[in-house]
Amino acid sequence: MDWLTRLPMIGPLIVRLMRSHAYRSYETLERVHWTRLAAAITFISFLAFFPLIAVAAAIGAATLSADQMRQLEKKLAQQVPGISGQLDLSGLIENAATIGIVAGVLLLFTGIGWVGSLRECLRAVWELEEDPGNAVKRKLKDAVVLFGLGGVALASFAVSGFAVTAVGWTARHLGIPENGPGGSLLRVAAFAAAVVADFVLLCYVLTWLPGVRPPRRSVVVAALIGAVGLELLKLLLSSYLQKVAAKSMYGAFGVPIALLLWINFTAKLTLYCAAWTATKPVPEPERPGLGIPQPERS
């Protein structure tokens, strides 16, 4: 792209773009072969998707009320736009209560393996070696991270659900119509609540999962980019994924293909956020004369 920087008018803009943190984060991804990392995350996440939901539903069935379980099912469905109805999440959640202890432990090990693989992919973005230490300790650490991730997800979804419910309750009591300007404000409020939930979750994923301590500003900006990007992806790709799942040429594989696409988009967005935190800011150039000793006057 060097020849672009020499073009009149747009050359300086290209130079400024190439020096931006956003572009240098993309260069970090290219250096670590991010398409391979995204493919790896997509594969392991697809394999662990239903076991993780089954474990979460089994724990929820044992600890939550029926109304809370319905809210959990609704939140899970919102995370897979367009095809949640075809995945039969309600049937999976209803049958999760029958999962025995042995099956639950086996499914839990699947989730622990997913955390370990995802951690190594995120560490690869930082160009770090595999997490050293005892294998048993790593598994225990991954189990703690998995439960922490589940706790953060439940807490953020609960806050989001409470915010949406509070806004809806206020709108009903004030008589605000859904199709008017007030309804638009309510949808913006719901979007903002979802962004906050995703933001909290991404802050956990970008720091605790790979075991790194990036600057706080980088984490906040990266998590905000990821949270807004994830909600925009849900809005923009919902109809697209629905069309992919319904294509007759895919047959019975339509829903799995749509799910793979969605996981891959999410994985690439997560990797970009990780690259944002791993990319160091460009040091400001020294001003002329600074740091240079001045000649003594006679």
Divide the 298 residues of the chain into consecutive groups of 10 and give the mean pLDDT of each group.
Answer: 62 73 93 95 89 76 75 74 67 67 74 90 90 77 85 73 69 68 74 87 92 93 95 81 72 79 93 95 58 47
pLDDT of residue 79: 72
| Cα distance between residue 18 and residue 40, in whole Å | 28
Inter-CA distances, 23 with 16, 228, 234, 272, 281, Å = 10, 19, 24, 10, 12
| Cα distance between residue 45 and residue 261, in whole Å | 12
| Cα distance between residue 199 and residue 193, in whole Å | 10
| Cα distance between residue 225 and residue 220, in whole Å | 9
pLDDT of residue 295: 47
Residue type, 246: A
pTM for this model (two decimals)? 0.81
CA-wise closest residue to 204 among 265, 158, 269, 153: 153
Residue type, 150: G
Write out the two tokens for 250.
């895919």
CA-wise closest residue to 148 among 103, 109, 112: 112
pLDDT of residue 297: 44
Inter-CA distances, 70 with 93, 161, 176, Å = 9, 12, 26
Write out the DSSP string of 14-62. HHHHHHSHHHHHHHHHHHTTHHHHHHHHHHHHHHHHHHHHHHHHHHHHH
